[in-house]
Amino acid sequence: MEADISSQAVGLASSADFSLMNLFIRADIIVKSVIVILIVCSVYSWAIIIEKIRLFKKINISSEEFEEKFWRSKSAETFYNNLSVNVEDPMALLFRESMQGLLKSKSKTNLAEKMGGILEVGIEKQMSKIEKGFTFLATVGSTAPFIGLFGTVWGIMNSFQSIAISRNTSLAIVAPGIAEALFATALGLLAAIPAVVAYNRFNNDSKKYFQKLESFSKRFLSII
């Protein structure tokens, strides 16, 4: 009996190929769909992560340069007239849009209240651009492990079905389904962990930048 088990294990180790590609090929349509979904989510998450890292690095530098130039200028209107048309910095865009609203305003009554509203809307507009993609990262971080778990459960069910049909409990029957199941779980975690870490990091960076925009808007409003 022990010799039979040993020979089965040796045969399995020599003949079975448990590479990632072969695990995917052997999987049924449900497990394949789970694997494809998780891979797509992971790739898109990393694309967002790389884009946001570059974005925050860029806007932190450009906003500091803008503030330095703004507070050294003689007047807000002069600085506005000399502002580049192709400016991309969120703080610069906030200033330009608020100045446009100020210059278009015919009535000077309740000017501070009007400008406060314009600046508030402008901040929300710029932050919505910055935070684009955050929802996807949060969704992947919270759902990917469960999608992988679904693939795991399905793979284990296939293993039990194979045992029932063949009436054979050898490793050669059980192992492929278990391997597919564990592969789905690993992919779920691989997609979720970077997404959660990145979301928390970017959410914190977003709050800091929001405070920076708010501080600038209050100081700008005080000089009008």
Q: Are 175 and 16 spatial neighbours (Cβ–Cβ below 8 Å)? A: yes
What pLDDT is recorded for position 211?
A: 95
What pLDDT is recorded for position 102?
A: 80
DSSP state of 167: T
What pLDDT is recorded for position 4?
A: 45
What's the rounded Cα separation, in Å, for the pair 193 and 190? 6
Q: Are 88 and 59 spatial neighbours (Cβ–Cβ below 8 Å)? A: no
What's the rounded Cα separation, in Å, for the pair 115 and 217? 9
What pLDDT is recorded for position 77?
A: 84
What pLDDT is recorded for position 153?
A: 87
Neighbours of 24 (CB within 10 A): 15
What pLDDT is recorded for position 108?
A: 65
What pLDDT is recorded for position 1?
A: 42
Q: Where are the domains of the chain?
A: 20-223
Give pLDDT tens digits along the chain (224 positions).
444 434 444 444 444 555 666 666 766 788 888 889 999 999 999 999 999 999 999 999 999 999 999 888 888 888 888 888 888 899 999 999 888 888 777 666 677 788 888 899 999 999 999 999 999 999 999 999 999 999 888 888 877 777 777 676 666 666 666 777 788 888 999 999 999 999 999 999 999 999 999 999 998 888 77
**AA identity, residue 151:** G
What pLDDT is recorded for position 6?
A: 42
Q: Exposed/middle/buried for 114, CB within 10 Å: 0-12, 13-18, 19+? A: middle
